[in-house]
């Protein structure tokens, strides 16, 4: 298939682009490179530098004819979104609307969308199923939920076959592709940065949560396992009826606390890694663990690297090979 991957120069989009190339698809990456890295675009993949807010340009690009779009391009920092809700809704909702309209005029039939566990807010039920109430606590989660709804309406109105994948905490690396954010806010790369000596210590944001050791519990999923789910969703679009919009949660169904992550990173790296207790970070729910039963049942998705050890050691290998991220590659 000929596929457009928006945000394909980013952490998750680049891994998916690589897996799509390996599965013999023709891949074109669309990225504005505001967060992504040119060096993360897999070899043999054309990079089109464009912004989703440029609707005219998007229409021209899509008019080339595509069999499907995998849509990753977005802003994704929860804290930043609280400060700048307008910017988040514009990038994540208006950007998606522009993309959907360009797809509609070019009659592109398939869409796989990068959604998030942040749509659930502070869930009452754990592990979280897809039918749990959606009650986002941040503009980031709100903008992604609004985009999910919009995709559902477009699917119904225009016969699109669409899937939203709601990711929990993505970690690990895949061969030459890894996590390189600026600024970095995610726990695992920050912990490993402390192991590398890039920073003195790692802060534990809150130790008084209602969890077994008082620190927040998250469901970590390996980026390669997550990526494979996109390929399954794309294949399943052929069996779906036009107009169908499917929603799947993606995690391992197992939670690890911040302290457990740090302890595992000490084991994997052999470094002491100093941890310093700090106040809670605004907007962090105590526990987020996915039920991925639906995607396992319906698409046959099975995680191959569910252990925290595999995720941390793959991320550690990548960081050691790329101590300055993509700058050095």
Hey, which residues are catalytic here?
A: 140
3-state helix, strand, coil in the chain (%, to 5): 40, 20, 40
Q: Please report whether residue 289 would count as binding ligand UFG according to CB under 6 A.
A: no
Q: Please report whether residue 275 would count as binding ligand UFG according to CB under 6 A.
A: no
Q: Please report whether residue 311 would count as binding ligand UFG according to CB under 6 A.
A: no
Q: How far is CA 244 from CA 145, 162, 236, 277, 290, in A?
A: 17, 6, 11, 47, 23
Which CB atom, from 66 or from 140, has the smaller least distance to ligand UFG? 140
Count, residues near ligand UFG per rule CB under 6 A: 21
Q: Please report whether residue 67 would count as binding ligand UFG according to CB under 6 A.
A: no
Q: Are 138 and 81 in contact (CB under 8 A)?
A: yes
Q: Please report whether residue 287 would count as binding ligand UFG according to CB under 6 A.
A: no
Which CB atom, from 156 or from 203, has the smaller least distance to ligand UFG? 203
For the bound state, the minimum distance from the C-beta of residue 204 to ligand UFG, rounded and expressed in Å, comes to 5
Residue entry with tokens 């609280």: 82
Q: Please report whether residue 319 would count as binding ligand UFG according to CB under 6 A.
A: no
For the bound state, the minimum distance from the C-beta of residue 191 to ligand UFG, rounded and expressed in Å, comes to 8
Smallest Cα–Cα separation from 146: which of 116, 175, 170, 167?
Answer: 116
DSSP string, 145-182: HHHHHHHHHHHHHHT-EEEEEEE-EEE--BTTB----S
Q: Please report whether residue 218 would count as binding ligand UFG according to CB under 6 A.
A: yes
For the bound state, the minimum distance from the C-beta of residue 228 to ligand UFG, rounded and expressed in Å, comes to 19
Residue entry with tokens 């008082």: 214
In the region spanning residues 238 to 267, those forming contacts with ligand UFG, defined by CB under 6 A, are 258
Which CB atom, from 78 or from 111, has the smaller least distance to ligand UFG? 78
- Beta-bridge partner residues of 174: 177
Cα(first)–Cα(last) distance of the chain, in Å? Answer: 29
Q: Please report whether residue 284 would count as binding ligand UFG according to CB under 6 A.
A: yes
**Count of CB atoms situated within 10 Å of the CB of 131:** 10
Q: Please report whether residue 168 would count as binding ligand UFG according to CB under 6 A.
A: yes
Joined together, the tokens standing for residue 105 give: 């005029």
Q: Are 256 and 217 in contact (CB under 8 A)?
A: yes
For the bound state, the minimum distance from the C-beta of residue 316 to ligand UFG, rounded and expressed in Å, comes to 16
User: Binding pattern to ligand UFG, positions 85-124, x when CB under 6 A?
Assistant: -------------------------------xxx------
Q: Are 314 and 322 in contact (CB under 8 A)?
A: no
For the bound state, the minimum distance from the C-beta of residue 105 to ligand UFG, rounded and expressed in Å, comes to 31
For the bound state, the minimum distance from the C-beta of residue 140 to ligand UFG, rounded and expressed in Å, comes to 6
**Contact pick of 181, 199, 203, 266 for ligand UFG (by CB under 6 A):** 203
Q: Please report whether residue 226 would count as binding ligand UFG according to CB under 6 A.
A: no
**Contact pick of 156, 186, 199, 259 for ligand UFG (by CB under 6 A):** 186
Q: Please report whether residue 73 would count as binding ligand UFG according to CB under 6 A.
A: no
83 CB-contact burial (10 Å; exposed 0-12 / middle 13-18 / buried 19+): exposed
Instruction: With both helix axes pointing from N to C terminus, report the angle between 139-158 and 95-106 in degrees, rounded to the nearest 10.
Output: 20
Binding residues (CB under 6 A) for ligand UFG: these are 76, 78, 116-118, 168-169, 185-187, 190, 202-205, 216, 218, 258, 281, 284, 288
């Amino acid at each position: 298939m000929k596929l457009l991957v928006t945000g394909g120069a980013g952490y998750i989009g680049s891994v998916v682009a690589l897996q799509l190339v390996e599965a013999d698809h023709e891949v074109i990456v669309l990225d504005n490179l505001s967060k992504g890295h040119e060096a993360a675009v897999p070899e043999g993949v054309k990079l089109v530098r464009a912004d989703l807010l440029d609707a005219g340009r998007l229409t021209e690009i899509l008019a080339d004819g595509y069999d499907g779009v995998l849509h990753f391009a977005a802003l994704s920092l929860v804290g930043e979104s609280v400060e700048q809700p307008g910017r988040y809704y514009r990038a994540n909702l208006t950007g998606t609307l522009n993309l959907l309209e360009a797809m509609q005029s070019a009659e592109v039939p398939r869409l796989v969308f990068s959604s998030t566990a942040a749509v659930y807010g502070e869930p009452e039920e754990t592990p979280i199923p897809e039918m749990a109430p959606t009650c986002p606590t941040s503009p980031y989660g709100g903008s992604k939920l609004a985009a999910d709804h919009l995709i559902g309406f477009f699917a119904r109105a225009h016969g699109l076959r669409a899937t939203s994948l709601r990711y929990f905490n993505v970690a690990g690396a895949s061969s030459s592709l890894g996590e390189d954010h600026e600024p970095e806010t995610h726990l695992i790369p920050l912990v490993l940065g402390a192991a590398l000596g890039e920073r003195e210590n790692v802060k534990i944001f809150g130790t008084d949560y209602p969890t077994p050791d008082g620190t927040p519990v998250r469901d970590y999923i390996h980026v390669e396992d997550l990526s494979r789910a996109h390929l399954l969703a794309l294949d399943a679009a052929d069996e779906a009826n036009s107009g169908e919009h499917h929603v799947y949660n993606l995690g391992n169904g197992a939670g690890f606390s911040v302290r457990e992550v740090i302890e595992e990173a000490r084991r994997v790296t052999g470094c002491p890694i100093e941890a310093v207790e700090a106040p809670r970070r605004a907007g962090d729910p105590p526990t987020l663990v996915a039920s991925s039963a639906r995607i396992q049942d319906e698409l046959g998705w099975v995680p191959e690297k569910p252990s925290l050890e595999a995720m941390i050691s793959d991320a550690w290998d990548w960081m050691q090979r790329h101590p300055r991220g993509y700058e050095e590659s």
